[in-house]
């Protein structure tokens, strides 16, 4: 079930009302039933995968808690392997199989293992990682194994964050699921407001931008340089608001039931460096990789080469986590590689100029900030492109074509002619879809709103800003927000990008 669907508009109020009306002892069961229904709206049979993982990890965690030494480790490894096997079968088998086959063909070996024709269960990477976080915390002795199977099942299946996170830790979520929450009007309305902001980000900004981006990236070879540059820029905004919008809805809907989920974003494009970006972007996943992969590998408390290796491994796995495609691996590699370059450059500057002046510091900071954004936006090409050859084509043709077209426009006429021609050229992909001025203005509106929201978020937060206005202004703002979503939201059904992972 999509959050931005009519089914959810019926499902969520019904669940919410029932949640606050049933006796507290029934709430867990109610949420579990609701979560099963929510998940089964996609492919009903895949609920069995969730049940399998839940029962397995619940049982092994209980056994792990009671054991020590090698036995404890064996239970841990069994749980780890069982979860990874599910991931491999459903997500990675065909990818590895196809690559082995290509390699075998290259080497002249005989290799043929059929492909599996399985649909990827929705949000598989998310709930498996949440299960893994639980198992690892229990194994490390940081958190006791949950005794109640229903509570643990709800930890894995809690519908607001079931299919795309935030990937919660047991210490954060499990106690909240066991607490009897009292209805609090302020928390309840804050949750609804947060959902409203999420819907705005997703339906008004991200989905309207998606129409343009999808058209260009569906056939990059036919697109102009201007279109490719604009589409890449818009995709950077789209993916952020698509996922951040989802996270707002997830966090907000949980909040209406008294459950506080972790924050997933913190104005990521306002980052001062590439390294900092990863403490602002998809925080629940980046902190997962930090705690359960990067730190166990040694983190930064090792030599320079080992640190670089740890960074590369972490980002390659992170790329692969997103999807079984070399484009995601390349995306991870670009991020990892440039973090190493960034740190090396910082060290080199410090070595060359031990006591830099204020102007130099400001210049370096600006350069780092702009450089980080360029890398982030460039890497999105690989994330969005359908294949590596598409991504390669875009990276090698986008800028030469772009500057060629801008040059042609400059030599064609005066400023107004350029502005007119540029407007036309920018929106060629929309005219191919027979979309007119309204859609063009919606894209401009989406971009403007993006920057207004981000600027406000970097100051005191959009929701806080509205909440601290006079009652009349507040009401006008909330009504305007809802009416804008209802009337300017994209009507085409565009699934959340992160649902596919």
Partner 1 sequence: MHNRLLNAVIFVLLLLVGQIFVARYVFNWDAQVSTIDSFIHAPTGIYYFGDSVIKSSPDADASHASIAEFLGAMIPDTIVADVSQGASDPRLFAAMTRYISTNSTVMPGTIIIPVNLRSFSPEWYRKPQYQFERQKFILEKPAPLRYFFQPLATLHALTVPAVSQEEFLNSPVYSGTTTVGFVKDFEDPGTFSTVTKETRRQKFIYDYMGRIEANNEELLALAETLRLGEQAGISMLVYITPIDYTSGVSLVGKDFIPQIRENARIVCGIAAAAGTPCIDLSLALGTEHFDSRAYPNEHLDEAGRRYIAEQLYKTYFRKE
| Interface with partner 1 (CB under 8 A) | 2, 4-6, 9, 185, 203, 432-434, 475, 478-479, 482-483, 485-487, 489-493
CB of 479 to partner 1, least distance (A): 5
b/e per residue, 291-313, with b = 16+ CB within 10 A? bbbbeeeebeeeeeeebbbbbbb
The nearer residue to partner 1, 61 or 443, going by C-beta atoms, is 443
**Whole-angstrom distance, CA of residue 134 vs CA of residue 204:** 36
Structure tokens at 293: 């992969």
Residue with Cβ nearer partner 1 (100 or 476):
476
Of residues 261 and 430, the one with the C-beta less far from partner 1: 430
CB 115 within 8 A of CB 94: yes
Between 366 and 479, CB nearer to partner 1: 479
State the minimum distance, in angstroms, from the CB of residue 242 to partner 1.
16
φ, ψ of residue 492 to 5 degrees: the values are -70, 140
Cα–Cα distance, 347 to 344 (Å, whole number): 5
Ramachandran class of 123: left when φ > 0, alpha when ψ lies in -120 to 50, beta otherwise = left
Q: How far is the CB of 6 from partner 1 (least distance, A)?
A: 4
Nearest to 38, CA basis, from 499, 482, 494: 499
Residue of 190, 322, 335, 420 marked catalytic: 322
Closest CB 493 distance from partner 1, rounded Å: 5
Pick 13 or 24: Cβ nearer partner 1: 13
Residue 69 neighbours by CB under 8 Å, 6+ apart: none
Report which of 28, 90, 25, 24 is spatially closest to residue 53, judged by C-alpha positions.
90
The answer to whether 157 touches 51, Cβ cutoff 8 Å, is no
Extract the tokens encoding 479.
Answer: 């009504």
- Closest separation between CB of residue 480 and partner 1, Å? 8
Beta-carbon contacts of 412 under 8 Å, excluding residues fewer than 6 positions away, are 418, 421
Both tokens assigned to 27: 């709430």
User: Is 322 part of the annotated catalytic residue set?
Assistant: yes
Residues carrying an active site annotation: 322
């Amino acid at each position: 079930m999509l959050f931005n669907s009519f089914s959810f508009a019926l499902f969520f109020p019904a669940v919410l009302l029932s949640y606050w009306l049933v006796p507290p002892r029934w709430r867990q069961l109610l949420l579990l039933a609701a979560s099963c229904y929510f998940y089964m709206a996609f492919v009903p049979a895949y609920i069995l995968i969730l049940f399998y993982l839940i029962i397995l990890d619940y049982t092994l965690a209980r056994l792990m808690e009671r054991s020590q030494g090698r036995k404890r480790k064996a239970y841990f490894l069994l749980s780890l392997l069982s979860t990874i096997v599910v991931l491999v079968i459903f997500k990675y088998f065909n990818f590895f199989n196809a690559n082995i086959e290509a390699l075998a063909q290259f080497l002249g070996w005989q290799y043929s293992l059929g492909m599996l024709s399985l649909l990827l269960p929705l949000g598989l990477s998310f709930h498996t990682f949440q299960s893994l976080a639980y198992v690892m915390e229990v194994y490390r002795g940081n958190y006791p194994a949950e005794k109640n199977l229903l509570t643990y099942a709800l930890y894995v299946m809690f519908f607001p964050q079931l299919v795309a996170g935030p990937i919660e830790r047991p210490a954060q979520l499990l106690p909240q699921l066991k607490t009897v929450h009292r209805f609090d009007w302020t928390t309840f309305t804050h949750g609804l407001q947060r959902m409203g902001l999420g819907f705005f980000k997703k339906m008004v900004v991200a989905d309207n931008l998606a129409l343009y981006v999808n058209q260009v990236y569906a056939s990059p070879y036919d697109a102009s340089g201007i279109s490719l540059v604009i589409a890449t820029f818009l995709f950077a905004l789209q993916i952020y608001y698509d996922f951040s919008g989802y996270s707002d809805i997830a966090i907000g809907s949980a909040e209406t039931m008294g459950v506080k989920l972790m924050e997933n974003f913190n104005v990521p494009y306002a980052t001062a460096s590439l390294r900092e970006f990863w403490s602002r972007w998809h925080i629940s996943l980046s902190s997962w990789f930090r705690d359960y992969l990067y730190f166990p590998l040694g983190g930064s408390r090792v030599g320079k080469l080992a640190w670089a290796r740890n960074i590369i491994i972490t980002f390659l796995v992170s790329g692969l986590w997103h999807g079984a495609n070399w484009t995601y691996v390349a995306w991870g590699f670009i991020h990892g590689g440039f973090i190493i370059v960034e740190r090396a450059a910082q060290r080199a500057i410090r070595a060359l100029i031990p006591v830099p002046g204020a102007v130099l510091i400001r210049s370096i900071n600006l350069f780092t900030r702009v450089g980080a954004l360029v890398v982030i936006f460039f890497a999105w090409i690989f994330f969005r492109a359908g294949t590596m050859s598409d991504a390669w084509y875009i990276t090698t043709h986008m800028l030469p074509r772009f500057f060629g077209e801008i040059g042609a426009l400059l030599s064609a006429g005066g400023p107004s002619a350029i502005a007119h021609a540029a407007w036309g050229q920018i929106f060629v992909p929309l005219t191919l879809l027979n979309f007119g001025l309204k859609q063009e203005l919606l894209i401009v509106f989406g971009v403007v709103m993006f920057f207004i929201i981000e600027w406000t978020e970097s100051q005191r937060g959009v929701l806080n800003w509205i909440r601290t206005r006079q009652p009349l202004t507040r009401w006008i703002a909330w009504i305007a927000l809802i009416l804008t979503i209802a009337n300017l939201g994209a009507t085409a059904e565009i699934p959340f990008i992160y649902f596919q992972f």
